[in-house]
A and B are shown apart, each in its own frame.
Chain A
Amino acid sequence: MAEVRLSRLSKSFGAAAAVSGLDLTIADGEFVVLLGPTGAGKTTTLRLIAGLERPDAGSVTIGGEEVTARSPAERDVAFVFQQYSLYPHLSVYDNLAFPLRSPARRLPAAEVDARVREIAGLVRIDHKLDSRSTRLSGGEMQRVAIGRALVRKPSIFLMDEPLSSLDAKLRADLRLELKRIQSDVGSTLLYVTHDQIEAMTMADRIGILSGGELVQLGTPRDIYTSPANLHVAARLGNPQINLVEPGLIPCQSVPRGTRTIGARTEHVEVEKAAAGAAANARIDWIEHLGDQNHLHIAVDGRRITLLADPYSGFKAGDAVAIRLREPLFFGADDRRISHG
């Protein structure tokens, strides 16, 4: 267990800067998720912490010790890769025991065995200990990979999109399991993903990366309700936040300097047009997702997408009255303007 501190961390590959001037502190026992699109520098950040890449500038501190110049083996980190990086010629048991059998550790065989069995139970793979690692399903392989990271009890865990190559159901299961395991073990965990649901559900804090820079760091709630800028606002929320110019949809008070209004479902009130509410928009079509519907609403030639209850009673072609309720306001520099 340890605190991780990155300061002014930079790394370029050729002319392309992958990470530039990154400052980030992860508290002991904290679950931090780095969220960003492909190429935002998430994976590079993890690899820099693990020591698989050397930074061009800046430093990495783990548990108060400066480790920037140290090799991965000297850093006491565990890494779960996006691919199932199991040793294919070894059994599940031997894969889990591999880090413990390092000559540097000299653990007695009985202790290795006890540790392997304990972790196998934790990641629920204990029924397959004798199987070849290549004979497992994708979910099982990734559980073994996570187990292999856990077995060493390292000071920090680094996970690089460990669930991205799994199907949706497995991903949901493992997401819960990971969160459970992390709270059981109480370890520091840095997790990289481009999946906002993973970020929202698992993280203590989310760091939004863009172009190699940390744009915002905060709790999932913070990031969702008070995004620092348009980029962050667009990363979270499903369907994606609607960006409209002021004046398109009626709104009580718009702060000065607002150039764009960000409206999520909860920021828009939709009513069927009636005598009391004059229609200012029309429902274009409805996507049925099963548990909920997406309403595509045409307003003055623009289209916004909202989430709706399947029993809301709206039909395609309905004339509706919409207005904004405390939406997000963004200025000319794309930063959010706080209300009042």
Chain B
Amino acid sequence: MTDSQSSVLDRTAERLAAATPVPLARKVRGLSDKGLAWLFITPTMLLLLAINIFPLIWAIYLSFTNYRANRPNEIVKNVGLSNYQRILGDQDIWIAMQATAHFVFWTIALQTLIGFTLAYLIDRKFRGHAFWTTVILVPMMLSPAVVGNFWRFLYQPQIGLFAYAVSFFTGISPTEIEMLSNVHLAPWAIIIVDTWMWTPYVMLICLAGLRSIPDYIYEAAEVDRASHWRQLWSITLPMALPFIMLAVLFRGIENFKMFDMVNLLTGGGPGSTTEVASITLKREAFEKWRTGYSSAFAIILFVAVFGLANIYVKVLNRVKNR
């Protein structure tokens, strides 16, 4: 830098310093970079602490008590681990966990299979593929409450389109197709709706994975005489696998705590056949008002999801770094 240049810079700095109001300048000058960073982060941190961390700690505390939210004046007793012991021995809880596992497994299996297939087809870039992508994405953009409500209508045995369509193809009388009130059909009814709604999401992630595979890899494979099947198995699937696994993770976590849609469609019924964990939790907390007990259950669910997700992310990273 020449002398004239540096003197220009000096003068500019001086002018800037003069133009800044003295009190502000003094305050800002007093702050280090680190101090400034804390200044910006603190409000968000406080908000997060208030609405996320505090309730979590409070729930952990409650899980060791016999507190009931509908009897605020009763003396709260510390009951130690007895809430946890009762949950792990509770038959109903295990039935709920089984229902959840059934729901999570089948929704993930179907959504991954259909989602990947759709992504694979869309990725062929046929005429109008942009239009069809948008059409496929519509269910995902709806509110779960809306979806729950209109599927209730679709599932109506007398007037519902679903029952009508099934009877049209199978010849079974539509009044016998009671998707939401039949013990055997109800678990599948919620799986169908969830799949209908969230397959597009899985498709979108898979599509991102497929688009990340460069064309020349396929061209090299074609010159190397790899059939389309072999290209799918030895190029497309392995290279898109991290994305597919990510979609499975998102859907798994989401469906493990699925509440809104199931609550609207079946409310856990008939009986408790579709009573997934979150519905049980709601019943324990806000129908039976066993706040301490349901807090303990919530903590168990949280630890389970958190632990499983962590293991899964480790595996995912290993797959990604191959």
Closest to B220 in A: A85
User: Interface segment, B193-201, B211-219, B283-291?
Assistant: B211-219
Contacts of A52 in B (CB 8 A): 219, 222-223
User: Interface segment, A96-104, A196-204, A266-274, A321-329?
Assistant: A96-104
- How far is B221's CA from A148's CA once the two chains are assembled, in angstroms? 11
Closest to A154 in B: B223
Interface residues on A, range: 20 to 34
User: Interface segment, B6-14, B70-78, B231-239, B302-310?
Assistant: B231-239
- How far is B218's CA from A72's CA once the two chains are assembled, in angstroms? 11
Indicate if A79 sits at the interface (CB-CB under 8 A). yes
Contact between chains at B225 and A87 (CB < 8 Å) = no
Contacts of B239 in A (CB 8 A): 88-89
Indicate if A77 sits at the interface (CB-CB under 8 A). yes
Number of B interface residues in the complex (CB < 8 A): 18
Contact between chains at A72 and B223 (CB < 8 Å) = yes
- How far is B68's CA from A58's CA once the two chains are assembled, in angstroms? 85
- How far is B220's CA from A85's CA once the two chains are assembled, in angstroms? 7
How far in angstroms is the closest Cβ of chain B from A60? 14
Contact between chains at A83 and B216 (CB < 8 Å) = yes
Contact between chains at B217 and A79 (CB < 8 Å) = no
Contact between chains at A102 and B222 (CB < 8 Å) = no
Indicate if B322 sits at the interface (CB-CB under 8 A). yes
Closest to A76 in B: B225
Contact between chains at A81 and B222 (CB < 8 Å) = no
Indicate if A78 sits at the interface (CB-CB under 8 A). yes
Contacts of B217 in A (CB 8 A): 85, 87-88
Indicate if B33 sits at the interface (CB-CB under 8 A). no
- How far is B223's CA from A73's CA once the two chains are assembled, in angstroms? 5
Task: Specify which of B219, B227, B234 is in contact with A79 (CB 8 Å cutoff).
Answer: B219
Contacts of B223 in A (CB 8 A): 50, 52, 72-73, 77-79
Closest to A77 in B: B223
- A50-B223, A79-B223 are known contacts; what are 14 more A-B pairs with Cβ within 8 Å? A71-B222, A72-B223, A73-B223, A79-B220, A81-B219, A85-B214, A85-B220, A87-B235, A89-B238, A89-B239, A98-B226, A98-B234, A99-B224, A148-B220
| A-B CB contact pairs (8 Å), 30 listed | A50-B223, A52-B222, A52-B223, A71-B222, A72-B219, A72-B225, A73-B225, A77-B223, A78-B223, A79-B219, A79-B223, A81-B216, A81-B219, A81-B220, A83-B214, A85-B214, A85-B219, A87-B217, A87-B221, A89-B322, A98-B221, A99-B224, A99-B225, A102-B225, A102-B227, A102-B230, A103-B227, A104-B225, A132-B322, A152-B224
Binding site for A on B (CB under 8 A): 214, 216-217, 219-227, 230, 234-235, 238-239, 322
